Amino acid sequence: MKNVIKILMVITVVACSNVKSENSTNMEEHKFKAGKNQVSFKSNGNLLMGHLYLPADYEHGKEYPAIVVGGSWTTVKEQMAGLYAQKLSENGFVALAFDHTNYGESEGIKRFFEDPKVKSVDFVNAMSYLNSLPMVSSSKTGGMGVCASGGYMAEAVGQTDQFKSFAAVVPWFNTDEVVNAFYGGESGIKERIEKSRAAVNKFQETGEMEYQLTISDSDPTAAMYGPFEYYLNPNIGQVANWSHDKFAVMSWEPWLTYRPVGAAKSIDIPTLIITSEGAATPKADQEFFELLQGEKELVWLEGGQLDFYYKDEQVNASVEKLVEHFRRTL
């Protein structure tokens, strides 16, 4: 996977060699303001849409530490990534949440396709975009991922020196044990991978994507099956820009074969891991932490996995730790 990411990064670096000057021109035309700003940047030829959150005391001409923020698999910028980005900006950071390739308002022909490799490259390019902005101090840039983005961003951190600090909140790290437990053991994994390959063949032959439900509390064939209020409630996480009924079937093989824990061996920047005994993959979180090569801190809080996506107690406790970490390391 890292070799693939390196190849994609080389392509991206060549394509974006003039990003600084192009974005500088855009900055002259775009008047940034405190709070949420609509922004866009390129990743592998696709235009990605984002929300750039600036501190309440934002001043033109001043530089700030900046953080790229990512959320759970399948999600968009209006969900947990946006919440954490907003809260980080309230504590003096520039923070970027965005729609990944194939998701939300961003481009990509394989809609709702969950590809860890592509998402990791998106994070590298998001950081390059942040570094092109006049209000960002390039020596003070970090990354923060919630759930699956903990792994996606870990891969990105290991591929570029643009990240100076890293943090993950209840990261979901797939291991053989995790995948077997959540996806029906050997038979369940085999079935999903076979369907994934069939969906890839269908797309190659017809250009048509095959989908299944993303979330359901009544249909066990959904990608996420259970009473998950965050995703099921339109007043919480089931936002208009997110697809609750379209999960690309071709996503299964790249997702189920993805193993991000080893990425920790390439990370030597200061890293904070926030997790819980009630999180999805606490054992894997511990394994990842132990493999980190640099300054590191592991914080255990109380709560279930999805509690950290939106509940005040878990989110605020996490933000407090994140702010301490990034203020100290950026």
For 17-65, the pLDDT digits (tens) are: 344 444 443 444 368 999 999 999 999 999 999 999 999 999 999 999 9
Whole-Å CA distances, 330 to 84, 169, 273, 321:
18, 18, 16, 14
Yes or no: say if 43 and 126 are a contact pair by the CB < 8 Å rule.
yes
Domain 2-175+258-329 has CATH 3.40.50.1820: yes
Strand 136-146 and strand 64-70: the pairing is: parallel
Backbone dihedral angles phi then psi of residue 76, each to the nearest 5 degrees: -125, 175
| Mean pLDDT in order along the chain per 10 residues (330 residues) | 45 42 44 96 98 96 98 98 99 99 98 98 98 96 99 96 98 98 97 98 98 97 95 94 96 98 98 99 98 98 98 99 99
- Please state the pTM of the whole predicted model: 0.91
Q: Strand, helix or coil at 278?
A: strand
Domain boundaries, the chain: 2-175+258-329, 178-253
Q: Strand, helix or coil at 42?
A: strand
Tokens of 135: 């209000």
Tokens of 68: 């790229």
Strand 211-212 and strand 247-248: the pairing is: antiparallel
How high is the pLDDT of residue 31?
A: 84
How high is the pLDDT of residue 242?
A: 95
How high is the pLDDT of residue 330?
A: 98
How high is the pLDDT of residue 2?
A: 43
Tokens of 2: 């890292």
Whole-Å CA distances, 296 to 167, 210, 264, 293:
10, 42, 11, 8
Tokens of 171: 């990261």
Yes or no: say if 123 and 159 are a contact pair by the CB < 8 Å rule.
no
C-alpha to C-alpha distance for 25 and 99, rounded to whole angstroms: 23
Q: Strand, helix or coil at 171?
A: coil
Task: Provide the 8-state DSSP code for 235.
Answer: T
Whole-Å CA distances, 130 to 55, 98, 110, 122:
15, 12, 26, 12
Whole-Å CA distances, 302 to 144, 216, 268, 277, 307:
20, 26, 28, 7, 9
Span 158-190, pLDDT tens digits? 999 999 999 999 999 999 999 999 999 999 999
Tokens of 106: 């961003």
